[in-house]
Amino acid sequence: MDLKQCRLLVTPTSYARSDSRMRSSIIEQCGKVIFNDTGKPLSAADLARLLPGIDGYIAGVDEVNASALEHADRLKVISRYGVGVDNVDLDTARNRGIIVTNTPGANAISVAELTIGLILSLARHIPEATQATRQCGWPRLSGIALYRKTVGLVGLGMIGKHVAKRLKNFECQVLAYDIQPDQPFAKEWQVDLVGLETLLQSSDFVSLHLSSNAATRGLVDDAFLARMKKGAFLVNTSRGDCIDEAALIRSIEQGHLRGAALDVFSHEPPNAGSPLLKMEQIIVTPHTGAHTDDAMNAMGWMSTEDCLAVLQGLEPRYRVV
Residue-level pLDDT at 230: 98
CB 251 within 8 A of CB 274: no
Q: Average pLDDT in the 57-66 region? A: 97
* CATH code of the domain occupying 3-106+293-311: 3.40.50.720
Give the C-alpha separation, 174 to 164, whole Å. Answer: 7
Q: Is 140 a catalytic residue?
A: no
Residue spans in the chain of domains classed CATH 3.40.50.720 = 3-106+293-311, 108-284
Q: Give the tens place of pLDDT for each residue, 230-247.
A: 999 999 999 999 999 999
Q: Is 280 a catalytic residue?
A: no
Q: What's the pLDDT tens digit per position in 8-38?
A: 999 999 999 999 999 999 999 999 999 999 9
- pLDDT for the residue numbered 102: 98
83 vs 87: CA distance, rounded Å: 11
Longest pairwise C-alpha distance within the chain: 65
Cβ atoms within 10 Å, residue 209: 28
Residue 46 — very low, low, confident or very high, per pLDDT cuts 50/70/90? very high
pLDDT at 266: 95
Return the H-helix or E-strand segment holding 175.
strand 173-177
Average pLDDT score over residue span 90-97: 98
Residue 162 annotated in active site: no
Q: For residue 243, give the DSSP letter.
A: B
- From 70, 188, 268, 280, active-site residue: 268
Q: Cα(111)–Cα(118) distance, rounded to whole angstroms?
A: 11
What is d(CA 53, CA 171) in angstroms, rounded to the nearest whole number? 55
> pLDDT for 133-162, tens place per residue?
999 999 999 999 999 999 999 999 999 999
Task: Say what the pLDDT of residue 247 is.
Answer: 98
Q: Report the side by side order of strands in the sheet with 192-193.
A: 192-193, 173-177, 150-154, 205-208, 233-236, 259-262, 282-284
Residue 314: the pLDDT is 98
Q: Is the pLDDT of residue 249 over 90?
A: yes
Residue 40: the pLDDT is 92
Amino acid at 262: L
Distance (Å, rounded) from C-alpha 164 to C-alpha 186?
9
Sign of the alpha-carbon torsion through 17, 19, 24, 27: negative
Amino acid present at 94: R
- The verdict on domain 108-284 having CATH code 3.40.50.720 is yes
Q: Which of these is catalytic: 80, 162, 239, 258?
A: 239
CA distances to 64, 91, 117, 227, 268 from 174, rounded to whole Å, are 37, 37, 16, 18, 30
> Which CA distances in Å does 280 have to 125, 127, 128, 253?
10, 9, 8, 11
Q: Provide, rounded to the nearest whole percent, the portion of the chain with pLDDT above 70.
A: 100
List all residues 6 or more positions away from 96 whose beta carbon is below 8 Å from its beta carbon. Answer: 69, 72, 75
Going by C-alpha positions, the residue among 87, 112, 76 that lies closest to residue 319 is: 76
Q: What is the mean pLDDT of residues 192-199?
A: 98
270-294 pLDDT, tens digit each: 999 999 999 999 999 999 999 999 9
Structure confidence at residue 1 as a pLDDT band (50, 70, 90): confident
Chain-wide mean pLDDT for the chain?
97
Name, in order, each residue with C-beta under 8 angstroms of 169's C-beta and a sequence gap of 6 or more: none
217 Cβ contact partners less than 8 Å away, ≥ 6 residues apart: 241, 242
3-state secondary structure of 200: helix
Backbone φ and ψ for 278, nearest 5 degrees, come out as -110, -15
Q: What is the pLDDT of residues 256-265, one digit of tens each?
A: 999 999 999 9
Q: Taking the mean position of all CA atoms in its chain, how far away is CA 283? A: 16
The reported pLDDT for the residue numbered 255 is 98
Catalytic position from the list 17, 23, 287, 319: 287
